[in-house]
Amino acid sequence: MKSKEEYLNDMKQACEDLTAIVAQGLKEKGYDGLFSDGECSCELDNLFPCGAPDPSCVPGHKIKCDGCEGYSYCIGPKGAPCPNAEDTVGGA
């Protein structure tokens, strides 16, 4: 039987493997990362900073960010405006 430390090391490796597989698939299909509508986003070189994949995450593209503090882009649907931009209300 594995020790707790061995089990945790195996789980860590499995998470790293999963992240690499997801990143490769996204890159091959031309995506820049993942996003969860109105919740969060992450780019290919930093997938799952939250610690784990979430079922609500979907592939997305970098979009110019006008309303995200500290960021010049965010990940979202291709061609979409920044979801945090003040002028996106009303279809502007």
Sequence-ordered list of residues with C-beta below 8 angstroms from that of 78, at least 6 positions apart, any chain: 60, 61, 63
Task: Give the whole-angstrom CA distance, residue 69 versus residue 64.
Answer: 12
pLDDT of residue 86: 59
Max alpha carbon distance in the chain (Å)? 61
Name the residue type at position 9.
N
Task: Give the whole-angstrom CA distance, residue 16 versus residue 20.
Answer: 6
Q: Which residue has the higher pLDDT, 7 or 90?
A: 7
pLDDT in tens, 32-51: 999 987 678 899 999 988 88
- Return the ∠ at Cα 49 (arms to 42 and 71), rounded to 5°: 45
Contact predicate 63/45, CB 8 Å: no
The pTM (predicted TM-score) of the whole model is: 0.76
Is a pLDDT exceeding 60 seen at residue 91?
Answer: no
pLDDT in tens, 51-65: 888 889 999 999 888
